[in-house]
Structure 1
Amino acid sequence: MTFISPAELTDRLERAADTFATKIGTLTDDDARVDTELPGWTRGHLLAHVAHVSNAVARQVEYALRGELIEFYDGGQGGRTQAIEMAAGQSAAEHKEAIAAAFTRAVSVLDSLAQEQWQLPISYRDGVVMDGALAYWRELVIHLADLQVGRGPETWSKEFCLYLIDFLAVRVPSGIRLKLLPLAMVPMTVGDGSNTVSVSGMLTDIAAWLAGRTPTMGSLRAEAAADSVELPTLLPWPSAFNAK
């Protein structure tokens, strides 16, 4: 994975949060009720989730600074689901207000950390604060694309795509070795199986596919032993909760 420092990650998070807030700024109540490509979720569900996960990341850090661990979501997976369902039907203005407050809470506490505090343990994936902050980066960028407000995967940076490919390498099925051939870039390999499948296309499309999203810049092409094949079926998203 391309190394990113805490200061660089904080900068990326601040920019991602600002972009997210700007892009949802014109959403109306009707817009918030529109279905997304995530099964059973409207934009309202996504907005509620982003606010909820922002607060969850913030409290992971707040407790870590006190030398304590706390579950990522209050009430675990059941609490997460209930909180999202309860907030999904809010007005657009209420969603925006909740997200603004949650963004401020999360970004502020991360921005306040000393270098060594990024390695404090948290309960999320039995990791450290850096792991939680990276997860937050994924949530902000990917879910903004899910909202379909003009900021799709085609806008993801090279840096983010390379990080995402590294993180999602665990989705490659056992026995398969993916040789990724992003256009105008050096090939890369994920997975360690004996059966090699080459996947070529735009870097953003490859990252979107691995993230379970629809490529937007063109068709990905898969080949095995010089023959065209279907793209492999990926394993589930690597989540502590098997959540969206």
Structure 2
Amino acid sequence: MTSDPLLLTGELDEAMARLLRTVSGFGPADVAAASLLPGWTRGHVLTHLARNADGFVNLLTAARTGEPIPMYASPQARSADIETGSGRPAADLLADLRDSAERFTAAVAAMPVEAWAATVQARRGPWPAAMLVWGRLREIEVHHVDLAAGYRPADWPDAFAQRLLHEVATGLAGNPAAPAMVLRFDGVRHELVVGDPEGAPTITGPAPELAAWLTGRSTGEVLTVTPDGPLPIPPEWI
């Protein structure tokens, strides 16, 4: 579970290739169909992914040049761009997705080593530039599932699923609204603890299913709770 942005680029390329294969089979009805995200069609999700790539290019450029370039011009501009682009033909959505991914790849390649140490102003606050490749990988893998086109959390590579699970669990550990629980991967002794483990339920299952449940991409039906009882209700993920 590396944090090195350059070592993650191979995983990112593979994730994007999987996404492009899915989208290349879409026709007009497919892009207009509902996604798993309330109020968004698949066209919304695909437009968001393209504009997200461009937003990350802005942040990479800020890290490289030292200029205070925001990820998006404004929250309103971000929403408007997604809404405007969501109704485009499937071929246009695919081309935009591919072209924006190529711009991101070029921006990563242009980064000098020292620029990865910068801090940039992401949508939710300051963020290390070294985390931008991971952030893009996370967007692609999670939103590929949101397309509701046959790609499921169980299809996530193990390294990605475990890193996502660790990241979400770490965030919950610092959230007073999160219920106490112990997360245990199937077949391993490793555990992640959220809150006070004394008396907290243990949730067991595959890492991808645990991550999917905590991020709202699964109801957790394949997970087990010890002692027997209902799953805790985690707070909304980002």
**TM-score (normalised: structure 2):** 0.90
1:59: how far off?
1.2
1:133: how far off?
2.0
- The C-alpha deviation readout for 1:94-127, integer Å capped at 9, x for no partner, is 1011111100001221133233322222111312
C-alpha distance in 2 between matches for 1:103 and 1:71: 19
Q: Bigger shift: 3-12 or 136-145?
A: 3-12
DSSP-derived class of the 1:79 partner: helix
* Contact 1:45-1:87 within 8 A present in 2 as well: yes
Q: Which residue of 2 is the match for residue 89 of structure 1?
A: 87
DSSP-derived class of the 2:201 partner: strand
Counterpart selection for 1:99 from 84, 91, 97? 97
C-alpha distance in 1 between matches for 2:16 and 2:144: 10
C-alpha distance in 2 between matches for 1:112 and 1:71: 18
Q: Classify 1:65/1:180 alpha carbon distance in 2 versus 1 (closer, same or farther; 3 Å).
A: same
Superposition RMSD in Å: 1.9
DSSP-derived class of the 2:162 partner: helix
DSSP-derived class of the 1:126 partner: strand
Q: Bigger shift: 178-187 or 137-146?
A: 178-187
**TM-score (normalised: structure 1):** 0.88
- The C-alpha deviation readout for 1:2-57, integer Å capped at 9, x for no partner, is 33322211111111112211221110011000001210011011011000101100
Alignment of 1:1-244 (within 5 A): 2-75=1-74, 77-124=75-122, 125-169=125-169, 170-171=171-172, 174=176, 176-193=179-196, 194-214=198-218, 219-223=222-226, 226=227, 228-238=228-238
C-alpha distance in 1 between matches for 2:179 and 2:7: 34
C-alpha distance in 2 between matches for 1:127 and 1:12: 21
Q: Classify 1:190/1:108 alpha carbon distance in 2 versus 1 (closer, same or farther; 3 Å).
A: farther
- The C-alpha deviation readout for 1:183-230, integer Å capped at 9, x for no partner, is 1122312322355121012221111101110268x621223xx3x222
Structure 1 unaligned regions, length at least 5: 239-244
* Contact 1:205-1:215 within 8 A present in 2 as well: no
C-alpha distance in 2 between matches for 1:120 and 1:138: 20
Identity of aligned residues (%): 24
